[in-house]
Amino acid sequence: MRSTSRVIMTCVPGRSIPQSRELLRPNQGISRGLRRGMGDPADPPAHVTTPRGRLSTRRRPESDVEEFGQKMAEKRASALYVYATILGAAALIVYGVTAGAWSRWQPTFRPGAVVFWLVACAASNLLPASVTSDVEATMSGPVNLAIAYLFPAPVAAAIVGFGSLTDWEIQRDISVSRAAFNRAQLALATGAASTMFQVARLGPWRVASAIVVYNLLNLFFVMEAQHLLHGVPLSEVFHRVVTPVPSFIGSYLVLGCLGIIFALVYKQLGGFAVAPFLVPLLFARYALRHSKQLEQAQRERRALADKLIDERERERARIASDMHDLVLQRLAAVQIQSDNITSALRAGKVEQAGDLASTVKEQVAGAIADIRTAIADLRRSALDGADLG
């Protein structure tokens, strides 16, 4: 998997949950590591269908009964949580339609504006860029807050709910229930932020309140889903998301203000005026991706260089061992046989001395062959077969 978690940010560094099967990414919902289905174990028990329901055919040890019951309880709790979130978003949208919120939208309802922000919402989710090994940059947070600023709560929730298209859904890499949960929790957070924008008595604090409410709700939905789906303590998830606190707060405040700027520019000048803001960010995305690719290539080259150095050291150690075990032993044998030849000649045993000389000749030839092999190994380049391109 793209191994990776996503934080809504542009060129501002932020903190996210590391990419893992066990963790979620804030501002996007359930991560691609949780796509098997809500709480389903990696190896589900075999079962048959009976008139009374599904019956498992796999025997479980008594020691596993309690653990299995706990997993089933977590599965039911996570399913209830996911569907409750989806129903909550649906209820908000339905209430807005029945209460006439669409007709009360000022300025007068314009379908073109809805289409524009639907496209902007989808594009912001489909164009992530890796910033570090555990952070991806997207523009969905600022875009969602701009939508919350421009539209009443039900309308904003509907736009974000229907417009939050991700690459997971296109690649069918996530279950329907989880895709619906991701959309629903973003819709609810956006609707709540829109409500805060419309609370007149908050005065100048409306913007800050809306940004805080949006991010806190989004964080709550993701943390609770993580806790219910995998039993990860909320404190652990919170620590991984929020730490370091200054970076977390600063990133989201800056991105929230960027969303308000988008909304104000759009409100004054229309959709074409937003393009000058988005185009540089698009180029920044490609620059970030290119920078990430260069960093990855440099890491691979350093790893390859370290590997080649290790291989060269091991090869040298092997050659030294061969020289000691083979060549030196042959030379020692030659020395001994030379002494034997000397003794045989002194004793007048010429024939025996000739046999020993033949043996010495063979030992010397073998030693020369071993030395040549070692020299050839030393001359061989450690980069043979390596690709540093």
Two structure tokens written together for 113: 């504006």
Centre a 10 Å sphere on the Cβ of residue 370 and count the other Cβ atoms it contains: 19
Name which of 168, 163, 144 is nearest 24 in CA terms: 168
The span from the CA of 73 to the CA of 39, in Å, is 10
| pLDDT at residue 195 greater than cutoff 80 | yes
> If phi over 0 gives left and psi between -120 and 50 gives alpha, with beta otherwise, what is residue 169?
alpha
Q: Of 139-148, 194-203, 309-318, 368-377, which has the strongest mean pLDDT?
A: 139-148
Measure the CA–CA gap between 241 and 248, rounded to whole angstroms: 8
Q: In what order do the strands lie in the sheet with 7-8?
A: 7-8, 135-138, 129-132
With residue 132 as reference, give the H or E element that holds it: strand 129-132
pLDDT in tens, 91-136: 776 666 555 555 555 444 577 788 888 888 888 777 665 544 444 5
The CA angle 336-338-343, to the nearest 5 degrees, is 95
Q: Where are the domains of the chain?
A: 7-41+67-269, 308-379
**Model's pTM, two decimal places?**
0.54
Q: Which residue has the tokens 């000739």?
A: 354
Q: pLDDT by residue (tens digit) across 227-240?
A: 777 777 777 777 77
25 SS3 class: strand
Kindly state the helix (H) or strand (E) to which residue 276 belongs, with its residue range: helix 271-322
Whether the per-residue pLDDT at 369 is higher than 50: the answer is yes
